[in-house]
A = this chain, B = another copy of it.
Amino acid sequence: FSTASAPLPGDLEEGDGNPHCLCPETTSRVRFKRISSLEVIRASLYCPSPQLIATLKNGLKICVDPKATLYKKIIKKIFES
């Protein structure tokens, strides 16, 4: 009877816990002027869609809907500001 745990998928190693999506809910009601930075997280084996976390000008963090065309404008404006 083997007690070896199942082989870890993809790029996981012992001690990685169980990576997952960070964003339980998203919004598309965030305004460009209120955003201080935007983190774009790539889709992975453990979270099949890209994630977008904005840090607001009050320091709070919020998950933005990556399908909302809004963020493309936001990133474009950030590069051109």
User: Knowing A16-B34, A34-B15, A42-B81 touch, does A56 contact B59 (C-beta < 8 A)?
Assistant: yes
- A31: chain B residues at CB < 8 Å are 14-16
Total copies of this chain within the assembly: 4
When C-beta atoms are compared, the residue in chain B nearest to A44 turns out to be B60
- A71: chain B residues at CB < 8 Å are 79
Shortest CB-to-CB span from A24 to chain B, Å, is 4
Q: Give 19 CB contacts A-B under 8 Å.
A: A11-B57, A13-B57, A15-B29, A15-B33, A16-B56, A16-B62, A18-B62, A19-B56, A21-B24, A22-B53, A38-B39, A40-B79, A41-B61, A46-B60, A50-B78, A55-B59, A58-B58, A72-B76, A72-B79
